[in-house]
Each structure stands twice: as structure tokens, then as C-alpha cells.
Amino acid sequence: MIPSYRGSCLCGTVRYEVNGSFDYFYLCHCDYCRKDTGSAHAANLFSTTAQLAWLAGADRIASFRLPGTRHARSFCSVCGSALPMQQGRLLAVPAGSLDDVPALSPQAHLFTASRAAWDHQLETLPAFAQLPT
């Protein structure tokens, strides 16, 4: 049976389905991904065989390619959420955009030389199930 995953943007305007398996799940700490996400790293799943189908909102998808680099991203033009991007045979899916749980867990941290100075030992911080009072 071929695995299938559904995903969407924050506002729900764009919805998609990925049919097939993911090959890799990486956490990228490069300067570009940190700027893209506004966070410590990007979390992306990659596949060279899975098929992407847009279920709704394809006309609301915007893309940006950073000149002089291979860095590109797709996002919802309404809410700005990161969305899957096809580059040749390679499909990149932002893990946070999935509505389903992927079969893979993160496999590696990439570009750790670019890691944010504050991104160390974060697992030792207090954790709250919701906003603390």
C-alpha cells in the first residue's frame, strides 16, 4: 500500500496530498532556512518518488527563489505558511504543514556551523503544555 499524507496552510486556503514515501527528514540550520522560518531551523521531508497533488488553493501559492542560490520556498499568499515545493524530481515538504504524522522522524541536523547562537541545550528548558500563567 502506498502511503498518503495530507497537509494544509494555517488558514486552510491551500490543501494538498502527497502519495508515496519520504526518503529523508532533515532539520536545516543554514542561514537561509533560519530566515525563512524565523526559527532555529527548518524541518523538511524529501522524496524523489512521491507525487504531490494540490486539493485546494493552488491559485494562492506563491514562490520565492533567492537569487544566486539554490534556495527557494513556496508559501500561501494569504497566511504565509510554508508549503511543499517541487524542484525537478525532488519534492520538499515542510513537516509542519502536514496534517498527518509522517512515518519518518528527523534523521539529521544540517549546516550546524550556521546554528543560531541561542540554539543549544533547548531540551533543558522548562516545558509547558500551554501558555504559562
The answer to whether the CB of 7 falls within 8 A of the CB of 97 is: yes
pLDDT at 133: 83
pLDDT at 102: 94
pLDDT at 80: 96
* Burial (0-12, 13-18, 19+ Cβ within 10 Å), 117: exposed
The answer to whether the CB of 2 falls within 8 A of the CB of 11 is: no
Question: Rounded to the nearest 5°, which phi and psi values hold at 32?
Answer: -65, -45
pLDDT in 10s for each residue of the chain, 133 residues: 889 999 999 999 999 999 999 999 999 999 999 999 999 999 999 999 999 999 999 999 999 999 999 899 999 999 999 999 998 999 999 999 999 999 999 999 999 999 999 998 888 999 999 998 8
In the chain, what are the domain boundaries?
Answer: 4-115
pLDDT at 51: 96
pLDDT at 120: 87
Second-level CATH architecture of 4-115: Beta Complex (2.170)
pLDDT at 33: 94
- Dist CA 19 CA 11 (whole Å): 23
> Which SS3 state, helix, strand or coil, does residue 96 take?
helix
